[in-house]
Amino acid sequence: MVKTCASQGSPKAAKVSDATDTTNNRFLFLFFCASAKIRENGQRHVGDNPPSEIRNRIIRNRVSQTRAYLELHLAVFLWGFTAILGDLIQLSALALVWWRVLITSISVLFLLRNGLTFRSMTRRNIGQYAIVGVLTALHWLAFYGAIKLSNASITLVCMATCAFFTSLIEPFLLRKKMNWRELLLGALIIPGMALIVQNVDVKMHLGIAVGLLSSLLAAIFSTLNKKWIDNAEPLPITFIEMSSAWLFLSAVLPFFFHAEPDAALLPSAKDFLLLLILSLLCTTLTWVLALRAMKHLTAFASNLTVNLEPVYGIFLAWLILGEEKELSPGFYGGVALILVVVFSYPYFNKTASKKPS
């Protein structure tokens, strides 16, 4: 979640825009949780079954959980791999996002069985999801702009602050009491970010600022999705948000090409193939994998697995893009501090939920 402004003055101007969709991943993850909850409520009680069926069901559940872990890990790995694909695609950030939301919208449309779900939506619901779609587009533009101004690793670390921004935003948008424990835990990320800023080239500081803006936008649209997700099914919501993002970006394109007349919209054959992989494998397929996995995994296990995304992304950027040459040991010290906070978050929530109210 703007990108056009981020495309100027980049120290990596010769380098292609990177692509990771932490944010897309997070609002889709809310869909997975909601769908799993609906299915869970419709299941029969185990106590109503004979012992042999209970035993068979336990065995099937263990197999299903193992498969679910593997599928969710594959989905998270593919989310992290989008950074590499974005770096390889020789298009501007705006054009890359435009193609990605277009291809994703078409693929989701094929997954929809009929249009009855849309007919049951009110105009207010459609308008709400369209607003989230625009925020999603702004988030992606800021995210890719941050990568052009810095690199993939730095931007991924900036996205790890999303939990902190969410703890600030949720009480206002959802009208709930401020959770000071979450706020304090999120604030512990600040020393890690300070350590990162001190250990990167000053030319990348603007990229860090845009990356934090991207994280803030991700927190806003994720919270709005959480607020409005019960009004419709996940697939139609995804289609409305992706298509709204595409329409918004289509309206922005003329202004972008007026300012950047040499920029290209049509991808080469190689870029189009990479865009298909990015949209179909790293977006639509990951949605399906995570949705199936959420039927068998607890929220704690799912959150812990999703937190691996920046780890996968930074490792792949280090392995394939060689970004470790641009970063100092102090940077990775800040990364380690932030990851400790990120991974402690689900444990903190699990412990807090066990305490008597």
**Residue bearing the bigger pLDDT, 41 or 179:** 179
Token duo for residue 297 = 């995994």
The winner for highest mean pLDDT among 206-210, 313-317, 325-329 is 206-210
The answer to whether the CB of 160 falls within 8 A of the CB of 144 is no
- Separation CA 2–CA 287 (nearest Å): 25
Query: What does DSSP assign to residue 298?
Result: -
Query: How far apart are alpha carbons 202 and 125 in whole angstroms?
Result: 44
State the pLDDT at residue 110. 85
- pLDDT for residue 46: 42
Is it the case that residue 315 has pLDDT exceeding 70? yes
Residue 94 confidence (pLDDT) above 50: yes
Per-position b or e across 50-88, b if 16+ CB within 10 A of its CB: eeeeeeeeeeeeeebbeebbebbbebbbbbbbbbbbbbb
pLDDT at 291: 66
Instruction: Enter the tokens of residue 88.
Output: 């390889």
Tokens 């035993």 correspond to 55
Q: What pLDDT does residue 269 have?
A: 94
pLDDT at 17 (0 to 100): 40
Higher pLDDT, 56 or 191: 191
Residue 279 exposed, middle or buried by CB count within 10 Å (0-12, 13-18, 19+): buried
Most confidently modeled range among 12-16, 53-57, 105-109, 176-180: 105-109
Q: What is the pTM of this model?
A: 0.74
User: Is the pLDDT reported for residue 290 higher than 80?
Assistant: no
User: Which are the contacts of 171, defined by CB distance < 8 A and separation ≥ 6?
Assistant: 177, 178, 179
Contact 11, 203 (CB under 8 A): yes
Work out the pLDDT band at 273, boundaries 50, 70, 90. Answer: very high
Tokens at 195, concatenated: 């350590």
